[in-house]
Chain A
Amino acid sequence: MTATRASLLAALAVLVAVPWWVPGDYYISVCSQILIYAVFALGVDVLIGYAGLVSLGHAGLFGLASYAVAIALASGSGQLGAVALALAVALLGTAAFAALSLRATGIGFIMITLALGQILWGLAYRWVSMTDGDNGVGVAARPMPFGFNLEVASHFYYATLVVFLLALLAAWVFVHSPFGASLAGTRDQPRRMNALGYHVWLIRFYACLFSGLLTAVAGILFVYYTKFISPQTLALTASAEGVLMVISGGSGTLLGPIVGAALVVIVKNVASAYIERWNMLLGAIFVAIVVFMPEGLVPGTTRLVRRAFKLRPNAPAPTGEPAPGEPAP
C-alpha cells in the first residue's frame, strides 16, 4: 500500500512539475489537452469498464457542453453562468440520452448512442442560426478565476490539472463506493442483481449521468482550451477516439483511460509533426495492443510485470491454484 501511495505521489509531482520539464508553451498546451481528454476518457470508461455499456455518442455530449459555454458567452452571459448552464444542459442532455439508449444493452445500446450522437452532430451542423453551422462559435476569452490569468499556457495547465484531479478523485470514489460495486454487479450479472432486488435500470441511469458529468467537464475545458467549437468536435470519429482511448489504455481501470488519452493525443499532435503517416502509426499501435495486451496497456503491463516477478528464482512458487478469472487447466 505504501508503494502505491509513493508512486501516486511521484506521479502527482511529475504532473505538477510539467511546466518545468517540458520544452516550451506548445508542449504545455499538449499536456493540457492530454488531461482534458483523460477526463473525457474517464467519463467513457465509467460506462464501458464499470457498466459494460459501450457508447459511441459521447462526443455529442462533449460538444453539447462546449456549445453551451460558447453560445452562452456569445450572448452575453458571465463565465460562471456559462459554465453552470453548460453543466445543466449537458446533464439534461445525458438524461435524455440515457433514457432513450438504456432501453437496450450490448449492440443495441451502441447503435442508439451512435444515432443520438449523430443527431447532436447534425444539430450543430444544421441549426445555423444557433451554432453558425460549419463556421463554429468562438470564445472571446478564457475566464480569470480569482484573478488568475488562464491565457498563459502554464496557468491554464494548472487549472486543467486541478479539475482533472477532482474528476479523478470523483471517479475513484464513485467506483469504490457500494454504488460502484452494484454497478459492476449489473455489468456482470444483471439478472441476478435484478433478482436480488436492485433496480438495474436506475443504477445504469445514474452511471450514465455521472459519465455525462465527466464528459461535460471535459467539454467545458476543451472549449476554453481551443476558444472555438465547431461541429467536427461532435463527429463520430471523436466518439470512436474516446472509446479507443479507454480500450487501448485498459477499460475498467482508472489509470487506463488516462494512459490511452495520452497515447492518442501525443500521436495526433506531436508525432504527426515528425511522421508523415501518423494515422498508420496510431493504427499499428492499436493493433499491437490488441495482439499483445488485449486487456489494454495498463492491465497488460501489470500482468507482464507480475509475471516477470514470479519468474524470479526467489519468488514463491505458484500455488498451482488458477487465478480467478483464468480457466482451470
Chain B
Amino acid sequence: MRVNRRKFLAGTAAIAGAAAFPMPSIAQAKGVKIGLLTVKTGPLAEGGFQMEQGVTTYLKSKNMSLAGHKVELVVADTGGNPAGTKTKAQELVERDHVNFILGPLAAFEMLAISDYVVQNKMPTLCLAGADNLTQRQPNAFLTRASATSSQAMHVMGDYAAKVMGLKKVVCLDSDFAFGYEQQGGFQQVFEDDGGKVVKKIWAPLGAPDFTPFIAQIQGADGVCQGYAGAAPVKFMKQYADVGLKLPVVGGETAGDDALLPRFGDEAIGMINACPYTIDLKNDANDKFKALMQKEYQAVPGFYAASMYVTVQVVEAALRALHGDLSKPAQTVKALRAVSLKETARGPIRFDHLGNVVGDIFVRKIVKEGGKLTNVTQKTYHNVSQFWTYNEAKYLAQPAYSRDYPPVKA
C-alpha cells in the first residue's frame, strides 16, 4: 500500500512538474506601475517570452522611465489558460495596484478578463486578437496596438485572390477563437474577391502531430494556415514530408519573423501577412532590431514588436496626460488618441473603438545568404479592423466563428 502510494505520488508530481515552467517578477523603483500578463508555460509560451522581451527592451532603452516617470514592471505568467489569467489579473489589480495591464496574449485569455478590467476600470492594452472586444461588444477600457485576429488575414485574403490568383483554398487552424477569427477574415475577403474556401480544418491547440489534418487537404490550389507559437515550424515540416506542393499562405503568427531561424527550407515561398515586418526600413525598426539583438540575441517578430510599440503608445499617452493617471476613463481616451508617425511597424493610430489602424505587410519567406528571411512583397497602408468594409455593415454581420462564414457546398 505504502509503496504504491509513493510510486503514485512521484508519478503525479512528475506530471504536475512537467506541465509548466518559470515566472520572474521584475520590480524597480516607484512611479508608474505596469503589469504584464504573458504566457511562459504551455503551447503559447513561445510568443509569451517574446512579449516580455518586447516590453523590457523598450523600457530598458528608456532607462525604465517613460515620459519622465519611473516605471515599475510586474510580470505575471497566466499559464496560457483563462482561469490562470483571471487570477493573475486579480493579482496585478488588487495586490500590485498597477496603472496599466499589458497583454494577455491569447483571445480566450482576454475574453476571460474582459468584464473584470471594466469593473475595475483598468486601462488594458492587449496583444490578443479577440475581434469582438473592439467590435460588437466593445470593451471601454481596452486599447489594442497589435491587431484583431482577422486584421492581417483580410489583407491575406485579398492578396491571395488578386495577386496570387488562387481560386480554391483549404484553411487549417487551431481550434480556438483566434483560429476561427483568422480564417473567418481570410474567407470573407477571399470569397468577396472571387475565391472559394473549400474546407476549414481545426486541429486542437497544442496538437502534437498535424499529419492527420494535412491528409484531409484536397481539391484546392492553395493552403491557408494560421497556427501560432512554435506550431508553424512543425506544420511546415510535416506538410513538406507529406509531399504537398501547394502554395501556403498565413497570418502574423504563421510566418512570424521570430520563427525564421527555426524554419527549415520547406518554409521557403510561404506568403504571410503581418502588421510588423523585419525588413521595414525606418530608424525605429533599425533601433528595435539592434536592441533586441543586444539584449536577447534574438530576431524580433510580431509578438515582441507589438508589445514594443504598445509600450511606446503608453509613453505617448503618459506624456499627453502629464503623468496624471487618476482618471482611468481619461487615460483610455489619451491612449486611443495616440497617433505615432514612426514606430517599428510604421505609422499607427487608433479608431474610436480602440483598435489600431496601421500598415499590413505581405511577405514571402526567401533564403538570403544561407538564412531564411521575410521579404515584403506588398504593403497595404492604414488597414483598419474593418478592412475596406463599411463599419456599420461589418458590425451587423455575425462575428467570425467556427461556423461563420460557413463553407459553401
Contacts and interface: CB of A to CB of B under 8 A. Distances in A.
A325 to B, nearest CB: 11
18 contacts: A26-B91, A33-B87, A54-B8, A134-B176, A136-B108, A136-B112, A228-B83, A230-B81, A232-B84, A237-B16, A240-B15, A247-B5, A269-B87, A274-B25, A279-B17, A286-B9, A287-B13, A294-B5
A131 to B, nearest CB: 12
Closest 4 CB pairs of A and B: A26-B95, A232-B81, A26-B94, A134-B176
Contacts of A140: 115
A277 B22 contact: yes
A138 interface: yes
Q: Interface of chain A, helix or strand or loop or mixed? A: helix
A287 B11 CA distance: 11
A282 interface: yes
Given A273-B76, A290-B6, A228 B82 contact: yes
Contacts of B402: 128, 133
A148 to B, nearest CB: 18
A14 B290 CA distance: 55
Contacts of A277: 21-22
Contact of A133 (B10, B87, B176): B176
B81 A244 contact: no
Nearest to B174: A134
Contacts of A27: 95
A138 B133 CA distance: 14
A227 B6 contact: no
A230 B81 CA distance: 8
Interface string A4-42: 000000000000000000001111010001000000000
Which of A54, A140, A232, A273 neighbours the largest number of chain B CB atoms within 10 Å of its CB? Answer: A273
A135 B107 contact: yes
Q: Interface of chain B, helix or strand or loop or mixed? A: helix
Interface string B5-32: 1101110111111011111110000000
A230 B109 CA distance: 10
A133 B82 CA distance: 12
B334 interface: no
A154 to B, nearest CB: 12
Nearest to A48: B5
A286 B5 CA distance: 13
A283 interface: yes
Contacts of A244: 9, 12-13, 16
Contacts of B204: 125
B350 to A, nearest CB: 25
Contacts of B122: none
A69 interface: no
A273 B83 contact: no
B279 interface: no
B15 A237 contact: yes
B52 to A, nearest CB: 12
B175 interface: yes
Interface string A51-69: 0001000000000000000
B90 interface: yes
Interface string A185-228: 00000000000000000000000000000000000000000111
B16 A24 contact: no
Nearest to A52: B1
A240 B112 contact: no
Given A241-B16, A243-B12, A153 B22 contact: no
A24 B90 CA distance: 12
Contacts of B55: none
Contacts of B107: 135
Contact of B115 (A29, A227, A233): A227
A247 B11 CA distance: 12
A25 B23 contact: no
A233 B6 CA distance: 26
Contacts of A326: none
B20 A279 contact: yes
A321 interface: no
Interface in B58-100: 76-77, 81-84, 86-87, 90-91, 94-95
A288 to B, nearest CB: 11
Contacts of A233: 83
Given A26-B94, A276-B23, A135 B177 contact: yes
A25 B177 contact: no
Contact of A290 (B10, B15, B76): B10
Contacts of B21: 277, 279
Contacts of A272: 23, 77
Contact of A230 (B2, B19, B82): B82
Contacts of A29: 90, 94
A280 interface: yes
Interface in B157-178: 175-177
Interface string A149-161: 0000100000000
A241 B15 CA distance: 9
Given A138-B112, A244-B13, 15 more contacts: A25-B95, A26-B90, A29-B94, A133-B176, A134-B175, A136-B82, A136-B108, A138-B111, A140-B115, A228-B112, A230-B108, A272-B77, A277-B22, A279-B16, A283-B16
Given A134-B175, A138-B112, A247-B9, A282 B82 contact: no
A236 B15 CA distance: 9
A246 to B, nearest CB: 10
Contacts of A247: 5, 8-9, 12
A233 B22 CA distance: 20
Nearest to B40: A276
